[in-house]
Copies of this chain bind each other. A is one copy, B any other.
């Protein structure tokens, strides 16, 4: 029996976009169910009990016959969808190196670039708590350093782990290409700018909702 996929998402989230972009590049159909995270729609008792006890989107729902399984964490959902495809290198080192950039994305990039973008674009700087406001400076420095590391990596190859696109590129494209919305300009990162154009030119590419 064929599997079908439903993405529990907030469509302006880059983490949700990663999964939609993966599905689009693979030509895999994906239904989407929208939640307004600003209204706490992923913190309801129903969501916590049935979709994700962590109260977060995205979650990939995998249906097969009567069975529904739920997979939180954007990069894990991308991995599931892309399993066996060219978006995951089969070479042992290349595969681990791809995961290296995906863990880097979650630890060094997303908490800085994505969080700043969320604060600036969705919450509004005037609505931030004093604790959040105190972190803007250090998050800008750390976000800038994450982009500099990517730019250095992209100096010698077309995509992060080699000459073809992998999940590492999808994971890092999501928030990198809108880094200006986080207050971090991409002008000085010429290799990243070229890489963004290469990703936008991939067959099946879809843009992020703004």
Chain A residues packing against B (C-beta within 8 Å): 53-54, 62, 69, 71-77, 79-80, 83, 92-93, 95-97, 99-100, 102-104, 106-108, 110-111, 130-131, 134-135, 138, 149, 152
Contacts and interface: CB of A to CB of B under 8 A. Distances in A.
| Copy total for this chain | 2
Contact of A131 (B71, B111, B134, B149): B134
29 contacts: A53-B152, A54-B104, A54-B108, A71-B93, A71-B96, A71-B97, A73-B99, A73-B103, A73-B104, A74-B103, A75-B103, A76-B97, A76-B99, A76-B100, A77-B96, A79-B99, A80-B93, A83-B92, A83-B95, A99-B99, A103-B106, A106-B106, A107-B107, A107-B111, A130-B134, A131-B134, A131-B135, A131-B138, A135-B135
Given A80-B92, A135-B131, A75 B54 contact: no
